[in-house]
Amino acid sequence: MNGYDVKALRRDFPILDRTVYGKPLVYLDNTATSQTPRCVVEAIQRMYYNNKANVHRGVHSLSQEATDMQEATRERVRRFINAESVEEVVFTRGTTEAINLVASSFGDFLENGDEIILTVMEHHANIVPWQLLGRHKRITLRVVPINAVGELDMEAFRSLFNERTRLVSVCHVSNVLGTVNPVRDIITEAHGHGVPVLVDGAQAISHIKVDVRELDADFYVFSSHKMYGPAGVGVLYGKRHLLQAMPPYQGGGEMIGHVSFENTTFAELPFKFEAGTPDFVDIAAFHQAIDYMEEVGVERIASHEQELLQYTTGKLMAIPGMRIFGTSPHKCAVISFLIGKEHHYDIGMLLDKMGIAVRTGHHCAQPLMTSLGIEGTVRASFAMYNTFEEADSFVDALRRVSAMLG
């Protein structure tokens, strides 16, 4: 790609220079977690060496510095997703906690008999929290199916709305199929019925430029560790009027206004949802990860990944018995596949011996696997630092594995 220097980028990721079983590491498990550039690791180190103090609680200089760094990241996230206000940016431990927060807090408004629309391609993190809510209230989950290429059946989606529909919760990008869902159309349809929408953006945020106001999303959730940042940090974006109406998710320090044994009042947004000591070190370093992504360019990263996707897909289809799941023309750089009747675990284990890191299993999407009539897949996923040489190494190794198992 013109002007895209992947070799220079790779120098920022020391882990890519290591070997596995004496073979150069080819890391193709980026959908599970991306690697972290040197500048982010250095930001964590600087924080521990120079600025470590609890935030929002001290008048001393270190506490003020740490607080300023955390809140600077909140503003950086706001700009990155084009939220209207920092009040709409809540820090969590990850996408999973963000969805659980909404399920618990927004779910407080739901009543017996209410319905939530999900899709068959959802990650367990966007299924189980709603089922847990259903333990306390008789909530019905309505599920949108997919077509043969792994796209949502939008006609079926539109047919699921009725007077008891209270929420739509949908992934922006499938972590298995790579399908990019038409979330703007989904939100428009839902809003036409007066129904808010939560978008699970965990698999989209590092591949697609997200503008929450352009999407008109009511909630948008994602994780730092999938966008070259530290683990243990997530974001819940929510429209201010919804967050203001929702009760706190957890109780403790920081989220309070005043506490007595008779009554407690709660802090203003976003702090009423941030009980306890946050991961202020990694939150501060998350700022560097966003800066890094934007310096490279989200669109340029996506273009590089799409070239890798098309190149690798073409080579894989020449392998006898190859079956790729998710063939929509609108997909991110994820390839889930099986070869003949070979077990995905066997393929993954043999690839690992050759230095190729891929993911195997149901990918926390068992309902999707059931709908596809399989137990699991092998999944290869690309990031900004992957190369065409690595794609060739992956395909060559897979040919060897196929011959060994065949």
Which of the residues are catalytic?
Answer: 364
d(CA 231, CA 228): 9
Q: For residue 130, which of 158, 99, 109 has the smallest C-alpha distance?
A: 99
Q: For residue 267, which of 287, 283, 285, 253 has the smallest C-alpha distance?
A: 253
Q: How distant, in Å, are the alpha carbons of 42, 246, 274, 324, 402 from that of 30? A: 21, 34, 28, 18, 23
Q: Alpha helices, DSSP H only, in 297-381?
A: 298-316, 344-353, 366-372
Report whether 175 contacts 334 (CB < 8 A): yes
Tokens of 295: 């310096």
Q: How many CA atoms lie within 13 A of 354 on its CB side?
A: 21
Name the phi and psi angles at 195, rounded to 5: -110, 130
Tokens of 2: 């013109």
d(CA 184, CA 217): 8
Q: For residue 88, which of 77, 73, 99, 102 has the smallest C-alpha distance?
A: 77
Report whether 284 contacts 74 (CB < 8 A): no
Taking the alpha carbons at both ends of the chain, their separation in whole angstroms is 37
Q: Which residue, chain included where needed, has tokens 């560790």? A: 225
Residue 34, classed as helix, strand or coil, is coil
The total number of residues shown for the chain amounts to: 406
What are the counts of helices (DSSP H) followed by strands (DSSP E) for the chain? 14, 17
d(CA 142, CA 165): 9
Q: How distant, in Å, are the alpha carbons of 159, 198, 209, 229, 243 from that of 238? A: 26, 9, 18, 21, 6
Report whether 283 contacts 70 (CB < 8 A): yes
Q: For residue 95, which of 242, 228, 255, 205 has the smallest C-alpha distance?
A: 205
